[in-house]
Amino acid sequence: MKTFLVRRLGFALVTMFAVLTIIFMIVRVLPGDPAMVILGDQADAAAIAALRARLGLDQPLLVQYLGFLGGALRGDWGVSLVTGRPVVQDVLDVLPWTIELTVSALLIGSVIGIPLGVWAAINRNSMIDYMIRMVSLLGLSLPAFVSGIMLLIGLAIQLRWFPVISGNRSNLSSWALSLALPAINLGLIMAAYITRVTRSAMLEVLSEDYVRTARAKGAPWRVVVWRHALRNALIPIITIVGLYLGVLIGNSVLTEIVFNRPGLGKLIVGALNQRDYTMLQGMMVIYTMLVVGINLATDLVYGAADPRVKMS
């Protein structure tokens, strides 16, 4: 277990280091001087030089690189060129919005996806299975902004059940109402993924010998499915859902734009549109940390749950 832990941690650190280096290179090596891009073609040389100095671009590349690495590790990602506030501060301001959205989407996805996946698996190749597979495939095919717009048109504009613009969090009910549509949107897409993963994991487990043994011993089918089989199927489900968190993060960007919700996604798109280089660089560092962190956590959960993983 110790070797496994050390190896995974080492790999996470190497990954982090590699991605930070790539981010540094992307921002500096790509054509175009960031200072010139920010100020435009018409800017005079003095202004460009001043901005270059402010961004630290006039220093030797190695100094810039070490400064960037050191800053990234200390949590100092510079100051936004647009708001003038530390990047960390801007990120921390919107982080709760993104977290509440993704966590509720994961919850909705699991509550819908796991029972549907189990139901499809125990009715393998029946009409129910077929329908569930088609619906989940349809869910996978929907880009998050298309489903978001459909929900907006149907539930907010036509039926007026939800506010068109979310963001009012003055009291509990308006908070829940403003979170509901974005969370349902992201949750339904997540449900489609979780349904499919659960179904195939359950099919695998249901064919195992211990399931047959449990049945032979007279355990009720329901107990066998929900207690014996699902418990074992949960391990691969958690792992694969961990891998899909990248999809979830990508879809949250689109959801935040459609529902005009603050969050990391809106922050990164704003930074792109306004050419806020330091913000962009900081956001890339955060996404990298998120992704590497989630992967590490998934690996560790898997390693803790399945002793065979540690052997490999």
Do 74 and 197 touch, CB atoms closer than 8 A?
Answer: no
Judged by CB, which is closer to another protein: 89, or 141?
141
Please report, as residue ranges, which positions from 280 to 299 form the binding site for another protein (by CB under 8 A). Answer: 280, 284, 287-288, 291-292, 295
Position 174 contacts another protein (CB under 8 A): no
Which residues have CB under 8 Å from 223's CB, separation 6+?
214
Judged by CB, which is closer to another protein: 124, or 212?
124
For the record, the structure tokens of 183 come out as: 């969370």
Position 272 contacts another protein (CB under 8 A): yes
User: 79 has which bridge partners?
Assistant: 86
For the record, the structure tokens of 74 come out as: 């200390």
Cα gap 175→191, rounded to integer Å: 23
Judged by CB, which is closer to another protein: 63, or 157?
157
Q: Looking at 50, 235, 257, 297, which residue binds another protein (CB under 8 A)?
A: 257
Cα gap 163→244, rounded to integer Å: 29
Cα gap 203→62, rounded to integer Å: 54
CB of 61 to another protein, least distance (A): 18
Q: Looking at 50, 82, 94, 149, which residue binds another protein (CB under 8 A)?
A: 149
Judged by CB, which is closer to another protein: 5, or 203?
203
CB of 142 to another protein, least distance (A): 6
Do 182 and 166 touch, CB atoms closer than 8 A?
Answer: yes
Q: Using CB under 8 A as the criterion, what x/- string covers residues 197-236 for binding another protein?
A: --xx--x---x-----------------------------
Tell me, what amino acid is at 176? A
Q: Looking at 41, 44, 62, 125, which residue binds another protein (CB under 8 A)?
A: 125
Position 63 contacts another protein (CB under 8 A): no
User: 86 has which bridge partners?
Assistant: 79
Buried/exposed 197-220: b ≥16 CB within 10 Å, e otherwise? bbbbbbbebbeeeebeebeeeeee
Position 115 contacts another protein (CB under 8 A): no
Q: Is the dihedral of CA 177, 182, 188, 193 positive or negative?
A: negative
Judged by CB, which is closer to another protein: 172, or 199?
199
Do 186 and 247 touch, CB atoms closer than 8 A?
Answer: no
Q: Looking at 6, 107, 140, 176, which residue binds another protein (CB under 8 A)?
A: 140
Position 273 contacts another protein (CB under 8 A): yes
DSSP 8-class letter at 153: I
Stretch that binds another protein, among 47-55, 71-79, 144-152, 217-225 (CB under 8 A): 144-152
Q: Looking at 106, 180, 188, 254, which residue binds another protein (CB under 8 A)?
A: 254
Cα gap 251→132, rounded to integer Å: 22
Task: Write down the residue that tokens 């065979």 correspond to.
Answer: 308
CB atoms within 10 A of CB 42: 6
Judged by CB, which is closer to another protein: 50, or 297?
297
Q: Residues in the site for another protein, rule: CB under 8 A?
A: 11, 14-15, 18-19, 26, 30, 121, 124-125, 134, 137-138, 140-146, 149-150, 152-153, 157, 164, 199-200, 203, 207, 246-247, 249-251, 253-254, 257-258, 268-269, 272-273, 280, 284, 287-288, 291-292, 295
